[in-house]
Amino acid sequence: MVEWTAEERAAIQDIFNSLDYEDVGPKALQRCLIVYPWCQRYFGGFGNLYNAEAILSNPMVAAHGIVVLHGLDRAMKNMDDIKQTYAELSVLHSEKLHVDPDNFKLLADCLSVVIAGKMGTNFTPEIQAAWQKFLSVVVSALGRQYH
Residues that bind other proteins (CB under 8 A): 30-31, 34-35, 52, 55-56, 109, 112-114, 116-121, 123, 125-126, 128-129, 132
CA dihedral 124, 125, 130, 135 (to 10 degrees): 100
Nearer to other proteins, 62 or 89 (CB): 62
Taking the complex as a whole, the smallest distance from the CB of residue 57 to other proteins amounts, in Å, to: 12
Residues 6+ apart with CB under 8 A from 22: 66
Taking the complex as a whole, the smallest distance from the CB of residue 141 to other proteins amounts, in Å, to: 20
Nearer to other proteins, 9 or 118 (CB): 118
Q: Please give the distance of CA 50 from its chain centroid, rounded to a whole number.
A: 23
Query: Rounded to an integer, what distance in angstroms lies between the CA atom of residue 13 and that of residue 85?
Result: 18
Nearer to other proteins, 128 or 140 (CB): 128
Query: Rounded to an integer, what distance in angstroms lies between the CA atom of residue 86 and that of residue 140?
Result: 10
Nearer to other proteins, 86 or 109 (CB): 109
Taking the complex as a whole, the smallest distance from the CB of residue 117 to other proteins amounts, in Å, to: 4
Taking the complex as a whole, the smallest distance from the CB of residue 13 to other proteins amounts, in Å, to: 19
Nearer to other proteins, 93 or 109 (CB): 109
Taking the complex as a whole, the smallest distance from the CB of residue 143 to other proteins amounts, in Å, to: 19
Query: Rounded to an integer, what distance in angstroms lies between the CA atom of residue 98 and that of residue 21?
Result: 26
Helix axes 125-143, 102-119, angle to 10 degrees: 160
102 in Cβ contact with 70 (< 8 Å): no
